[in-house]
Chain A
Amino acid sequence: MKFVGELERKEWSNLTYVEVEPNTWYENASRLLDSGYLYPQMLTAIDWPAEKKIQVLFVTHRFKDSHTVAMSTKIDRENRELPTLTDLYPGIEWQENEAYEMFGIDFVGHPDYKRWGRIRKILLSEDPRLFPKDRYPLLKDSGGYKNLPKVNWNEIEGTDREKEGLRDDLVYVYVGPQHPATHGPVGFLLGLRGEIVEDVIPRLGYVHRGVEWIFEQKEYSKIIPLLDRQCYVDGIGWEIPYVLAVEEIMNVKVDERANLLRILAAELSRIQSHILYIGSFLENINHLTGFAWTVRDREVFINLLEMLTGQRMTFNYLRIGGVARDLPQGFRDLTEKVIAKFDKHLDKLIDISLVNPTVAIRADGVAPVSAEDAIKYGWTGPNLRASGVAWDYRINKPYMGYDSVDFEGAIGNKGDILDRMLVRFEEIRQSLNIVRQVLKSLTTRGDLGKHYKRAPPFPRQSGIAYGIHESARGENGVLVVANPKDPRARMKPWRVHMRSPVFIHTMSLKYLGRGLLLQDFLANYISLDTCVAEMDR
């Protein structure tokens, strides 16, 4: 595809990187849309104080030929302004919000201007008593999250700044951050008419820890244990994209055996995450027996992961260039036993959940999302596939040796809650299949344990890479920027950005959650598979 004002073009391992002039930003985006790049994957920014520039990066997929483009532009650091892309790619709206609060980039024409008169902060507080108003923490000279004002919580009340944009004809109810259905400290301000949700204002950021800033203070290998903690259910899903990106910058080759072990860990993690997903949905519609059963079934897979990685939830298993440890003795036999037993449990689980009429009426035909909407709002993973889009990053763009295993993707057609559950059930089956295959091809003798030590601890030359992994919740993307020329970042990354699918799914409820009953809204929210730690980062 031809770009206007193209400055630079590079082929990365998984995408084409194009740098354009800032004044052609919007035009190039609309050209991308016209040539079939429908899917807004990621938008973020990188600060380059030495050049007095801020680089904005926009990643988009084309499903037809599985091609990905990263369009980038460098804007003036003093005058941070860009036209918004939300009218082309509605799913980019909240990522622009994030780029605004982290870098202070003013996206002209952002939808928030219409309702609030300003771009809203999502993760940081809008109250200057809690977070300084003009501080954009990811700018290198801003001071980050250090020296925040001391807050006397006894005196402060009412820190939310949403009141002025509310509609008069609705009753607003705070759902969360302390609410049994939100499964973590996240909130919604719901405008209700009767019990029908007419207006949704997601309220995030209660557990925002500023990890992207913390990553910049740590050496490359010390970031991996922190990544696990971003999603405590599917931790491997965050280690993989980071490691992939760093390996691309450093040009490190990974053994086939290490790749198989990574796939093994990723799929075991996916299985237990999906099982918990089914449980949390059943819990949300008050089917507590199903929830208890899923917790029991998940336990055996956590035990397997503990045996493989040494940890139950925060694995710290991957290393740059390999994995931390080899397959433990007896793992294969135990896994076969566990899978054989779980197969029976899975049938029972389907009996109690999908075959159960009281569950089926809560899921069937509820909150359907069309394929167009799912693509438009940037949905990924099982939720996208439930809407009938055949896009699985493991299949469409095999990475990390996924082409060596034989499996099928799951796909729905209506995009309702039932389809989302069915896709997850099918993916559990396929992942069990992958685990069996991987264990068959992993020979008992391997020389693992040395090769990752051959990889250098940090890159010597600057570079940018974007690792994408199809995790249990969607496409986890991690952007890693290395800039060892700067003394501050010799052994540390210059910038790490996490593209969280949960953040995008939850924010898209702003538009997709309207018109549902309160009960259905919450079931819909849970059916998108939530994880608040990852949402807030």
Chain B
Amino acid sequence: MQAGAESGSWRRAQEHVTSNDTLELPPRRRHLFTLADIAETLTPFPRSSLLSGSKLLAAGLLLCQWAAAAPPSWTFADATLQISQKGGEAAPKQSFTPKSPIAGVQTLKPSDSLKILLTAKEGNKPMRPHQLFLLLKDPETGLESFFAFDAKESGKARLDITQKDIPTALLTAPSLTMTIAIASFGKSSPLSAEIATISPVLDQTAKKALPEPPLKYGKRPEIHHIFRGEPRSPPKIISIVFLGGVVACLPALFIAWFTLSANVSHLPKSLAASPIAHPLFFASLIALEGVFFAYYTSINIFQALAAAAIISPVALISGSRALREVRARRLNGER
């Protein structure tokens, strides 16, 4: 790419990062090498004493340079964190250093504002770095946002945060870790130090004001259909008791008839008078009930009608004959 290559810096970067000869180090990058790196440069050359001597010397020199001119590292001092309530009293300032973060969890209410004051230093000298960020991270999701300090050239920096400044995705997190990152161009080694843990507390109105989280493609919650309840019957024992009561009516009826001297004593007489009509009539009545039973259990309406059509003429004709015999008995005074 023309523009990028011509800019020069990209080219130079390539030269540096592609350099394989570790002894011809770009002098400006010494600080990036550790002792282990230098030790590695020694091991590949044990055979040629001359070479190894010179390389050892070079490496030694390098080590000396590295030790003597160790670049300063970025740090900060006079750092305090203060949470004050709008219109209320400010909480005491809590001081912290790169190595000793503030213990415990700070809470940030909707009306609170958080103030961090610090002085950035390059080594011991107060200095303004190029990057002076406060990073807020939700350790659960890994989401992180940054806030740039308001820094003066003297290195004095200030940052004010209220809940409005914090992205909503982080506001709903149970706790956020605060990290300060100080770094700049040049050789000085950068610093990132965790300084505190903060927990944003939302009230009802703030919770309502939160926007819907954005749509993300992914697995969606499962749905299982909830079926309507099955139709219920009373306990079987109750049905059985009442069924017993109903069935018991039948013998009760028969007993009642017999106590009123009902009988079938004329059956032989009738059979003798009309031997075909009586059994046929009675059988056709039973057969009709049988058709109803079959319709209830298995056959369809057309089969039931066909069967009834066959049985009913039989019942009609045999019935008239049988009833004629019954009338004959009545006229004889036998009924």
Partners in one complex: no
Which residues of B line the A interface, CB within 8 A?
none
Which residues of A line the B interface, CB within 8 A?
none
